């Protein structure tokens, strides 16, 4: 019987290290649900950094993941590299894109978790604007930490899908 308890305890410890963890902070919850018939324009954020390391293409990967999530809910979704930040609101064709989404990478840390035991970390802010009124309609941040047992396959971009999908779906419900 003691062997069974040891096996169960070891299994639980292993499984506890097999799931990523997320924390979500909603600064501004949308007052109304987003309209699925309204187009969404997403800007490409600047690449993420950790210490002196810039993570190439992290901005593009973030914008692509956000586009993927919005594409499940809206009929027209595009990414722009032509503008960034609130200044995009001055150039958007609001009849084509009624919503503008500004993602910001706050933290991006890619670690060799499989041998160091230090998890990958990510923190993203997503601000959504009504492009006609130019008012902020939703603002959230979430952070994620990779699971301990990655076997070399996880990176910060792998932490985007779950929280981005859940957040975007909540905007349309």
Annotated domain spans of the chain: 20-171
Q: Is the dihedral of CA 16, 27, 133, 87 positive or negative?
A: negative
Pairing verdict, β 135-145 and 121-130: antiparallel
Calpha distance 134→94 (Å, rounded):
10
**pTM for this model (two decimals):** 0.80
Helix (H, G, I), strand (E, B) or coil at 14: helix
- Count CA within 13 A, CB hemisphere, residue 143: 11
Query: Can you give the pLDDT of all 173 residues of the chain as single tens digits?
Result: 444 333 333 333 333 344 555 455 655 677 789 999 999 999 999 999 888 888 799 999 999 999 999 999 999 999 999 988 889 999 999 999 999 999 999 988 876 555 656 677 889 999 999 999 999 999 999 888 876 554 555 666 777 888 899 999 999 98
H-run or E-run covering 9: helix 2-16
- Residue 9's pLDDT is what? 33
Q: What pLDDT was estimated at residue 162?
A: 87
The whole-number pLDDT of residue 3 equals 44
Class of domain 20-171: alpha beta
CB proximity list for 75: less than 8 A, separation 6 or greater = 36, 37, 39
Three-class DSSP category at 171? helix
pLDDT attached to residue 61:
93
Beta bridge partners of 136: 129
Give dist(CA 3, CA 5) in Å, integer: 5
CB 128 within 8 A of CB 139: yes
Distance CA 30, CA 77 (A): 19
pLDDT at 51: 84
């Amino acid at each position: 019987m003691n062997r069974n308890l040891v096996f169960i305890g070891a299994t639980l410890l292993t499984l506890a290290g097999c799931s990523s963890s997320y924390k979500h902070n909603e600064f501004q919850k949308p007052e109304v649900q987003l309209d699925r018939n309204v187009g969404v324009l997403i800007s490409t954020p600047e690449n993420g950094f950790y210490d002196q390391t810039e993570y190439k293409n992290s901005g593009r990967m973030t914008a692509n993941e956000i586009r993927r999530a919005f594409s499940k809910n809206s009929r027209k979704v595009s990414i722009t590299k032509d503008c960034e930040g609130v200044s995009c609101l001055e150039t958007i064709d609001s009849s084509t894109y009624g919503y503008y989404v500004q993602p910001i990478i706050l933290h991006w840390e890619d670690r060799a978790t499989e041998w160091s035991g230090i998890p990958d970390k990510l923190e993203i802010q997503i601000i959504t604007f009504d492009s006609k009124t130019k008012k902020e309609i939703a603002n959230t941040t979430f952070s994620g930490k990779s699971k301990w047992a990655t076997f070399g396959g996880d990176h910060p971009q792998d932490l985007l899908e779950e929280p981005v999908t859940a957040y975007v779906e909540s905007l349309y419900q």
